[in-house]
């Protein structure tokens, strides 16, 4: 029985496509280089070794990254998403701070439902987390392609299409660049 264990493990790990492993490797390498802050050869080599180790040890856990697109433009799309998220984060923080400092500003909190066009569970998870991390919005439930979001100032009579456009459209567009 112990003879079949390595075969079963190899079969499980082979379910993770090579393209996904390559994408995770390059994402890990990019993260390493961004955190290192210096684009030197020794940092690149150390980052490549660390990314290779993480990718190799991850095995079947890489199935969580099923929605990643391994394309040459993926790093640029990822950076565009991070940039858009940071901009939304700053704007939302300023808006919430303005509301705290000016109590006379109206608040109209509501739970709104949006529909996402993103297909992969990873893409929907990243969208939900980006919305939650942006002050003034909080994803409270996710079922299929629908997300329920607590919004600190939802305009009255807002329909699902308009809410999706105001809350998630930019995030979705950028996430679609590197996720399905």
Residue 127: band (very low, low, confident or very high) from pLDDT cuts 50, 70, 90: very high
Query: Are 160 and 130 members of one domain?
Result: yes
Q: How far apart are CA 169 and CA 91, in angstroms?
A: 16
| pLDDT for residue 74 is more than 50 | yes
Residue 24: band (very low, low, confident or very high) from pLDDT cuts 50, 70, 90: confident
Helix (H, G, I), strand (E, B) or coil at 112: strand
Query: Are 125 and 101 members of one domain?
Result: yes
Q: Which of 40-44, 62-66, 155-159 has the highest mean pLDDT?
A: 40-44
Residue 82: band (very low, low, confident or very high) from pLDDT cuts 50, 70, 90: very high
Among the candidates 18, 36, 65, a domain finishes at 65
Q: Are 150 and 111 in contact (CB under 8 A)?
A: yes
Query: Are 79 and 119 members of one domain?
Result: yes
pLDDT at residue number 140 = 96
Say if 15 falls within a structural domain.
yes
Q: How far apart are CA 76 and CA 74, in angstroms?
A: 5
Kindly report the average pLDDT of the chain as a whole number.
84
Say if 140 falls within a structural domain.
yes
Residue 93: band (very low, low, confident or very high) from pLDDT cuts 50, 70, 90: very high
Q: Which of 16-30, 109-123, 154-168 has the highest mean pLDDT?
A: 109-123
Q: 51: domain range?
A: 4-65
Query: Are 100 and 140 members of one domain?
Result: yes
- Which one-letter DSSP state was computed for residue 139? E
Number of domains observed in the structure of the chain: 2
- Predicted TM-score (pTM) of the model is 0.68
Q: How far apart are CA 30 and CA 162, in angstroms?
A: 35
Among the candidates 36, 65, 94, a domain finishes at 65
Say if 38 falls within a structural domain.
yes
Query: Are 61 and 87 members of one domain?
Result: no
Say if 180 falls within a structural domain.
no
Mean per-residue pLDDT, 127-143: 93
What is the per-residue pLDDT across 35-47, written as a single tens digit (0 to 9) for each? 998 889 999 999 9
Say if 166 falls within a structural domain.
yes
Query: Are 91 and 163 members of one domain?
Result: yes
Mutual orientation of helices 74-101 and 121-133 as an angle, nearest 10°? 30
Query: Are 100 and 60 members of one domain?
Result: no
pLDDT at residue number 73 = 83
Query: Are 40 and 95 members of one domain?
Result: no
Mean per-residue pLDDT, 39-68: 86
Q: Classify the phi-psi angles of 37: left when phi > 0, otherwise alpha if psi is within -120 to 50, otherwise beta.
A: left
Say if 58 falls within a structural domain.
yes
Query: Are 37 and 109 members of one domain?
Result: no
Q: What is the largest CA-CA distance in the chain?
A: 72
Say if 44 falls within a structural domain.
yes
Helix (H, G, I), strand (E, B) or coil at 118: coil
Say if 43 falls within a structural domain.
yes
Q: Looking at per-residue confidence, does 16 or 24 come out higher?
A: 24
pLDDT at residue number 72 = 82
């Amino acid at each position: 029985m112990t003879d079949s264990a390595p075969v079963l493990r190899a079969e499980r790990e082979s379910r993770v496509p090579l393209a996904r492993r390559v994408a995770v490797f390059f994402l890990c390498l990019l993260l390493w280089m961004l955190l290192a802050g210096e684009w030197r050869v020794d940092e690149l080599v150390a980052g490549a070794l660390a990314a290779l180790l993480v990718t190799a040890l991850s095995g079947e856990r890489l199935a969580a990254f099923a929605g990643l697109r391994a394309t040459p433009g993926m790093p640029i799309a990822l950076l565009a998403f991070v940039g858009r998220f940071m901009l939304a984060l700053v704007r939302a923080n300023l808006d919430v701070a303005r509301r705290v400092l000016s109590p006379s500003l109206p608040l109209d909190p509501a739970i709104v439902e949006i529909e996402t066009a993103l297909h992969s569970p990873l893409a929907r998870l990243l969208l939900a987390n980006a919305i939650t991390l942006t002050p003034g919005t909080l994803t409270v439930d996710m079922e299929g392609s629908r997300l329920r979001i607590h919004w600190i100032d939802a305009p009255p009579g807002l329909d699902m299409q308009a809410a999706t456009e105001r809350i998630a459209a930019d995030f979705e567009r950028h996430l679609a660049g590197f996720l399905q």
